[in-house]
Structure 1
Amino acid sequence: MTLILYSYIADLLFGDPQWFPHPVRGIARLVSFLEQRLIGRRLERLSGMLLVTVVVGVSIGCTYLFLRAAGAFGVFWRNAAWVFSSYTTLAVNDLLRHGRAVFLALEQKDIAGAREKLGLIVGRDTRNLTSAQVVAAAVETIAENTSDGIVAPLFYLFIGGPVLAMAYKAVNTLDSMIGHRDERYRCFGRFAARLDDVMNFIPARISGILISLAAFMLKKDAANAMRIMRRDAAKHPSPNSGVPEAAMAGALNIQLGGTRRYDGQVYAHPFFGDGGKDARPRIIMQAMKISFLSSVLMVLTGVLWQWIF
């Protein structure tokens, strides 16, 4: 229990420095290396399954061996390795830092800078977004990454330690890189996308509840968060992403979703929420507060669960 708290605090303090050899960047490089050698083959779906199996297997194996090797030097080094491995699966600091960067650019009326900073954390085209659209996109990614980057890794840390959490990060990285529905990845990335759906199913729903609870504690509209989550979550093409996004839209009384562009192509997207408030920059900060409090609640819930059972 204490080690997870240390891991969480380490993420808050240090985040993900670009100069540091982060395991998730190593996973991404491995995915790219294998993709170049496997995609385009005759049995694309099987090739995609092979890639997923190798990447997840290597991630599990390296984490396990790292922990075992550190443990050979004593309890202190074993615990230090446990904390380090766990900390690298979390993204609280990064999410808040990127969200704040977008907010500050908008506050300074630097719409071009806000679009550029938003482009670092979303996959859609940001070049022509209005200020309100930048705010909505930032809130969407804060909501989704509250689940993918915070709650889900913590969930797997609590039930399986760093090995299972790193397996989750491998699957999530695979989904972000090859789990697309376009012509290139429709077959090749299908297994990665489906496995990510399975592994995020429970954490996404926990995230929706935590966002609603955090909204209540911050005197936002918790009842509306639950209502919009029940009403709109299933509209999302993903079985999971709609849950935290709809909950956040309801909590803040704004409308998320709508048309967006990817690689110059326009895609229709469902709306979440009723849009009672204008999407002003301060909404980003409110979403960040809800996200951060949700992460604290997840840590406390997990610690309490382990203490009881």
Structure 2
Amino acid sequence: MNQFTAIFIVPAAAVLLDIFLGDPAKFPHPVRIIGKGLDLYESCARRLGVNLRWAGWAAVLIFAGAAWFTVSALARIAYLGPLLAVYFAYAGLALGCLMREAGKVASLLDSGNIPGARQALSMLVSRETAELDESAIRRTLAETVSENLNDGFTAPLFYLALFGPGGLWAYKAVSTMDSMWGYRTDRFRDLGQGGALTDDLLAWIPARITAGLLLFTGRGLGLDAVMAKSRFRADAVKMESPNAGWPMAAAAWLLQGQMGGPTVYFGKVKEKPVLGPEGRPWTRQMLRTLFELTRKTGIRTALVLIPVLGLARLLLFS
């Protein structure tokens, strides 16, 4: 595989496959392999009685390193390598899947099927959805779409464009660790510290790129990007996560809908910071506009990151 193909064609092909195909429902996915490995690692660490905080930090190095080495080695296989590189790059992006699943929730809501919408939403979020009313479902859907534009697309694309499929899957290993262990509960407080802090570090730049491109795209859709730009930063820093609030607050102010408020996790109510104009519920039309904003921002993100970071990669690593 020549350098131009590796740096520019592979990421571009991955983005197109992700947008138009999403993740096939029954096709085996590398994240599941990482998840099973993390479950086994946790079980062994607890049985051996090792220090869980140190075990968590060791897991970051082990799983990120193994992912990078394995994917990079597969991408170098003669003849088959380019196809594997495209597959792993495509499998690491999740914009198409996010929009498809979010669209299902919205369609169920629009048809009046609240129980079905709750169930479909539970596949996208870690919070409890069984008691959510229509307004809370719309708010939750807006939150997860805006946050996961960064977590599921911008951040992995950033590392794909800069380091190739191996770098993307090193990031995905850390992100998967954070999604499985990154809870401040008795079970995960120590084990998940390494993954959570590393994920915060790796997603720091992409989250701010996502917010900036949301504002830029929103202006083209006729949204009040000037006002949103003046307000969203103050809300973004309210969140516990140093990154999640950036795309969420940008979207909340662009669409003029509230995010945050009482949220149930593991049977306990958590008061999340309010982002956007307080007391403004999400409507059907606001969600439709958010979906359009998210898709167009994803496309613009690819048009910016692939050439810019591709050139940086040529200069830095050639």
- Give the TM-score range, shorter chain: over 0.9
Partner of 1:83: 86
Cα RMSD (Å): 1.6
Residue 234 (1) aligns with residue 228 (2):
no
Contact 1:228 1:249 in 2 (8 A): no
Identify the match of residue 42 of structure 2 among 31, 35, 38.
35
Identify the match of residue 30 of structure 2 among 13, 23, 29.
23
Q: Which runs of 5+ in 2 are unaligned?
A: 1-7, 313-318
Partner of 2:4: none
Q: Any idea what SS the aligned residue of 1:99 has?
A: helix
Contact 1:253 1:276 in 2 (8 A): no
Code of the residue aligned with 2:55 in structure 1: it is: S
**TM superposition score normalised by structure 1:** 0.94
Contact 2:162 2:309 in 1 (8 A): no
Runs (4+) of structure 1 exceeding 3 A deviation are 275-278, 306-309
Q: Any idea what SS the aligned residue of 2:272 has?
A: coil
1:284 CA displacement: 2.1
Instruction: Please give the residue correspondences for 1:209-224 in structure 2 after superposition, counting only pairs within 5 Å.
Output: 209-224=212-227
Instruction: Please give the residue correspondences for 1:11-160 in structure 2 after superposition, counting only pairs within 5 Å.
Output: 11-39=18-46, 41-69=49-77, 72-73=78-79, 77-160=80-163
Deviates more, 1:44-53 or 1:199-208: 44-53
Deviates more, 1:219-228 or 1:139-148: 219-228
Partner of 1:178: 181
Provide the rounded CA distance (Å) in 1 between the counterparts of 2:172 and 2:71.
12
Structure 2 vs 1, CA of residues 90 and 115 (structure 1 numbering), >3 Å: closer, same or farther? Answer: same
1:30 CA displacement: 0.9
1:298 CA displacement: 0.9
Provide the rounded CA distance (Å) in 1 between the counterparts of 2:9 and 2:61.
32
- Deviations, residues 179-237 of structure 1 (Å, cap 9, x unaligned): 11111111111011000000000000001001111111111221233223211000001
Q: Any idea what SS the aligned residue of 2:190 has?
A: coil
Q: Which runs of 5+ in 1 are unaligned?
A: none
Code of the residue aligned with 1:290 in structure 2: it is: L
Q: Any idea what SS the aligned residue of 2:237 has?
A: helix
Deviates more, 1:226-235 or 1:144-153: 226-235
Deviates more, 1:83-92 or 1:7-16: 7-16
Deviates more, 1:165-174 or 1:280-289: 280-289
- Deviations, residues 123-161 of structure 1 (Å, cap 9, x unaligned): 111111111110010000001100000101111111111
Contact 1:208 1:229 in 2 (8 A): no
- Deviations, residues 239-274 of structure 1 (Å, cap 9, x unaligned): 000101100100100110001101211111100011
1:303 CA displacement: 3.5
Contact 1:122 1:141 in 2 (8 A): yes
Structure 2 vs 1, CA of residues 237 and 307 (structure 1 numbering), >3 Å: closer, same or farther? Answer: closer
Instruction: Please give the residue correspondences for 1:263-302 in structure 2 after superposition, counting only pairs within 5 Å.
Output: 263-275=266-278, 277-302=280-305
- Deviations, residues 24-51 of structure 1 (Å, cap 9, x unaligned): 1111111111111113724111111222
Structure 2 vs 1, CA of residues 42 and 7 (structure 1 numbering), >3 Å: closer, same or farther? Answer: closer
Provide the rounded CA distance (Å) in 2 between the counterparts of 1:45 and 1:272.
32
Contact 1:4 1:86 in 2 (8 A): yes
**TM superposition score normalised by structure 2:** 0.92
Q: Between the two proteins, what is the percent identity of the paired residues?
A: 33
- Deviations, residues 19-76 of structure 1 (Å, cap 9, x unaligned): 212111111111111111113724111111222222112211210121122xx23xxx
Contact 2:18 2:93 in 1 (8 A): yes
